Amino acid sequence: MSARPPALTDALHDYLQAHGVRESTAMRRLREETARHEMAMMQISPEQAALMALLVELTGARRALEVGVFTGYSALAVAEAMGAGGRLTALDISADYTETARRFWAEAGLAARIDLRLGDARETLAALRADGLEGAYDFAFIDADKSGYDIYYEHCLALVRPGGLILLDNTFHMGQIAEPDRWGENAPVVDALNKKIKADERVTMVMLPVGDGLTLCRKRG
HEC sequence for 105-165 = HHHCCCHHHEEEEECCHHHHHHHHHHCCCCCCEEEEEECCCHHHHHHHHHHHHHHEEEEEE
pLDDT in tens, 155-165: 999 999 999 99
Rounded average pLDDT over 50-70: 97
Higher-pLDDT residue of 40, 160: 160
User: Does pLDDT of 104 surpass 90?
Assistant: yes
Q: What is the pLDDT of residue 175?
A: 86
- 137 pLDDT exceeds 80? yes
Whether 3 shows a pLDDT value over 70: the answer reads no
In this prediction the pTM is: 0.95
Q: What pLDDT does 13 receive?
A: 86
Q: Residue 177 pLDDT more than 60? A: yes
